[in-house]
């Protein structure tokens, strides 16, 4: 037994100096491996003395990322504390104390003392987000992706929370938290990049009515789905019924319910005919209906339209109308080239006849009274003598 105690005593005596000597000696600056890092350290110290803790924090953070020296974490914690980022100050100290074997005893004691001082400045926050896989950043510190497994440390007082997920609007929330031992719960909803709201459409009428939204077929009624906020035109269509239509403005967070009523379509439409001549005759289905312009209600289906005017080519076409359809036809008449030829031919004949008649009366011999002679009517004198 005495031999065993003696061996333990020798072992403790031998190892004790070795453990003590394993602790780092000198200042943190002296332990930095390059002159560049030492210069950064000096700049960070100057910034701290000047009160520009954000600049000092950036320098200390860069040194830590390069060296992974846990002794630098205390300076990072102090900068966070000065900037009122208490939760991050505590996080830096807790990380530093996980490397106790690499820290001098006095630095361990200093870190533990500051940690106790900071504990009243933080509280626990349970962050719940309605979407998984969103990145969570609290007071500039990345906490991971949703869902978070446990409550996180937040500042008593001001906090800034940022939640980001592809396909959704980045959520930024600034809030204050009071002191409290129980975790506070913060429930949040992410909004899609394209804001939508729910639209529900019902139809009074035939059960096979088809819903159209902005001209796109959405299926038979009833319809329910999410649409982008803004103005939309909603229609219900069915054979034999008049199309029902409503235009509404969809607002974010305000569901829209639309009820459309379909009525049986009348088997008629409205036709309007306008010509470029006030005296042109308008004939519909072999019946004169007006001149120049005409408007009336006609049965659905096909119709024959004829427009006539002296000296112009007849205009004829077929017109088809659907139920409740309104249609306007504007007609420009074309002159008939053969009409002028006939006119001038007839005029020429008339003129020629007039000239001939005139010439007859002008050139015919005038009638004179008979001349009474002295000769015997039964005798004709001659110059021959026998």
53 part of a folded domain = yes
Q: Determine, yes or no, domain membership for 217.
A: yes
In a domain, 376, yes or no: no
Average pLDDT, the chain: 83
Which residues, at least 6 apart from 259, have a Cβ–Cβ distance to it below 8 Å? Answer: 201, 202, 203, 204
Q: Closest Cα to residue 210, out of 179, 237, 178, 181?
A: 237
Q: Which of 159, 188, 217 is the last residue of a domain?
A: 188
Q: What residues make up the domain containing 279? A: 268-331
* Distance in angstroms (rounded) separating the CA atoms of residues 299 and 318: 14
Last residue of a domain, one of 240, 264, 288: 264
Is residue 22 located within the same domain as residue 102? yes
Beta-bridge mates of residue 283:
288, 306
Is residue 133 over pLDDT 60? yes
- The CATH number given to whatever domain includes residue 143 is 2.60.40.1120
Write out pLDDT tens, residues 189-227: 998 888 889 999 999 989 889 999 999 999 999 999 999
Give the torsion through C-alpha atoms of 97, 99, 104, 108, to 10 deg: 10
What tokens does 9 get?
Answer: 């005593």
Confidence class for position 26, pLDDT limits 50, 70, 90: confident
Q: Is 284 inside a domain boundary?
A: yes
Split into its structural domains, the chain has a count of 4
Domain boundary residue among 120, 150, 179? 120
Write the pLDDT tens digit of every residue in 266-321: 778 889 999 998 889 999 999 998 898 999 888 888 899 999 998 889 999 999 98
Mean pLDDT, residues 66-85: 94
Instruction: Kindly report whether the global pTM for this prediction surpasses the value 0.85.
Output: no
Output the pLDDT for position 322.
82
pLDDT in tens, 316-349: 999 998 877 888 999 999 998 886 554 445 455 4
pLDDT at 348: 52
Which runs of consecutive H residues, i.e. helices, occur in the chain?
A: 2-22, 28-31, 35-50, 53-67, 72-82, 86-97, 105-118, 337-363
Residue 164 CB coordination number (10 Å)? 15
* Same domain for 140 and 205: no
Pick from 91-95, 237-241, 371-375 the range whose average pLDDT is largest: 91-95
Average pLDDT over residues 119-133: 94
Within this chain, do residues 163 and 214 fall inside the same structural domain, yes or no?
A: no
d(Cα 95, Cα 5) in Å, to the nearest integer?
A: 38
């Amino acid at each position: 037994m005495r031999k065993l105690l003696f061996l333990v005593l020798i072992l403790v005596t031998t190892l004790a100096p070795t453990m003590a000597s394993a602790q780092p000696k000198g200042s943190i600056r002296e332990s930095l491996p390059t002159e560049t890092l030492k210069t950064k350290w000096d700049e960070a110290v100057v910034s701290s003395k000047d009160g520009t803790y954000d600049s000092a924090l950036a320098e200390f953070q860069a040194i830590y990322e390069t060296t992974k020296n846990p002794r630098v974490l205390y300076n990072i914690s102090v900068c966070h504390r000065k900037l009122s980022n208490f939760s991050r100050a505590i996080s830096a100290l807790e990380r530093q104390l996980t490397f106790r074997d690499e820290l001098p005893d006095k630095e361990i004691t200093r870190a533990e003392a500051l940690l106790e001082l900071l504990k009243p400045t933080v509280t626990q926050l349970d962050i719940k987000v309605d979407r998984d896989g969103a990145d969570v950043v609290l007071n500039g510190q990345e906490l991971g992706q949703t869902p978070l497994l446990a409550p996180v440390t937040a500042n008593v007082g001001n906090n800034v929370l940022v939640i980001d997920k592809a396909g959704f609007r980045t959520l930024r929330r600034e809030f204050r938290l009071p002191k409290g031992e129980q975790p506070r719960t913060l429930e949040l909803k992410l909004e899609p990049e394209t804001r939508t709201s729910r639209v529900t459409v019902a139809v009074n009428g035939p059960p096979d009515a088809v819903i159209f939204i902005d001209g796109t077929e959405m299926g038979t009624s009833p319809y329910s789905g999410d649409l982008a906020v803004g103005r939309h035109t909603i229609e219900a269509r069915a054979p034999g019924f008049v199309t029902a239509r409503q235009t509404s403005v969809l607002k974010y967070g305000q569901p829209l319910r639309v009820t459309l009523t379909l009525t049986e379509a009348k088997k008629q439409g409205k036709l309007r005919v306008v010509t470029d001549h006030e005296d042109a005759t308008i004939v519909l289905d072999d019946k004169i209906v007006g001149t120049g312009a005409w408007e009336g209600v006609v049965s659905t289906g096909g119709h024959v339209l004829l427009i006539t005017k002296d000296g112009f080519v007849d205009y004829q076409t077929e017109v088809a109308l659907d139920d409740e359809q309104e249609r306007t036809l504007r007609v420009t008449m074309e002159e008939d080239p053969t009409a002028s030829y006939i006119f001038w031919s007839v005029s020429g004949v008339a003129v020629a006849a007039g000239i001939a008649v005139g010439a007859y009366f002008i050139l015919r011999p005038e009638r004179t009274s008979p001349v009474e002679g002295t000769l015997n009517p039964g005798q004709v004198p001659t110059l021959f003598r026998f």
